[in-house]
Amino acid sequence: MFQTGVLIVFYGLLAQTIAQFGGLPVPLDQALPLTVNPALPLSPTGLAGSLTNALGNGLLSGGLLGILENLPLLDILNPGGGTSGGLLGGLLGKVTSVIPGLNIFDIKVTDPQLLELGLVQSPDGHRLYVTIPLGINLQVNTPLVGASLLRLAVKLNITAEILAVRDKQERIHLVLGDCTHSPGSLHISLLDGLGPLPIQGLLDSLTGILNKVLPELVQGKVCPLVNEVLSGLDVTLVHDIANMLIHGLQFVIKV
């Protein structure tokens, strides 16, 4: 009977102790290990934004604006300069014949811009097409007036194809496929011109020249830079995107 009473008292005290201390936090040295979630990869839709941001920043840091500002337009339009003979020389002759005695001696590129990049994915999911919209102003000067004769706004898109390839070591890479100016994307508009002169005829002739030479000129300068930027992208970003392309998984949202 005594033993039974002792047991009743003992379990009563034990239950009271558990009730008193059950709500207290467990000491740190006795705590269960915390569950830490690993860093999650970018969501498929986040990959597209990360890619365009990386490409845009890479183009700017790689000197894109300086490349545009130093386009050798004067060398091409100068009839005495090598490659500008023949057809280009004839076109420039039309420009100078609009106003007797007028010789264009300087075409200066100003206000180069990289606008917002566009990104689309091919229907099969294995290719990306990046649209690189560029903007520049052209200031045409002449010794006849000693000042700016024309100011033109020029817009042009370069389209770069991006592919994923697997090398002999089974590593996947992003590579540049076709890179060219988008057909029909060149737009030239007059910002201002010297009123008394027959500006429209001069503008039409000069626009004809630029339509023939400017797209390929810009393409030849910009596409090598795109390839350089592509090869220097973050390894993790490249791996994630290349893996999606290899498997044909869509991750670019169609707007």
The domain ranges of the chain are: 44-77+102-247
> What are 174-200's pLDDT values in tens digits?
999 999 998 889 999 888 765 555 567
More confident call, 168 vs 28: 168
d(CA 205, CA 94): 7
Mean pLDDT score across all residues of the chain: 77
**CATH topology for the 44-77+102-247 domain:** Bactericidal permeability-increasing protein; domain 1 (3.15.10)
Q: Look at residue 188 in the predicted model and tell me its pLDDT.
A: 92
- Tally the C-alpha atoms within 13 A of residue 129's C-alpha that lie toward its C-beta: 14
Helix-, strand-, coil-residue percentages of the chain, each rounded to 5:
45, 25, 30
> What are 45-101's pLDDT values in tens digits?
689 999 999 999 999 999 999 999 999 987 776 655 444 444 445 545 555 555 555
d(CA 20, CA 180): 77
More confident call, 45 vs 226: 226
Burial class (CB in 10 A: 0-12, 13-18, 19+), 79: middle
Per-residue pLDDT, averaged over 213-238, amounts to 95
Q: Is the pLDDT of residue 20 over 90?
A: no
Least confident range from 51-65, 146-160, 216-230: namely 146-160
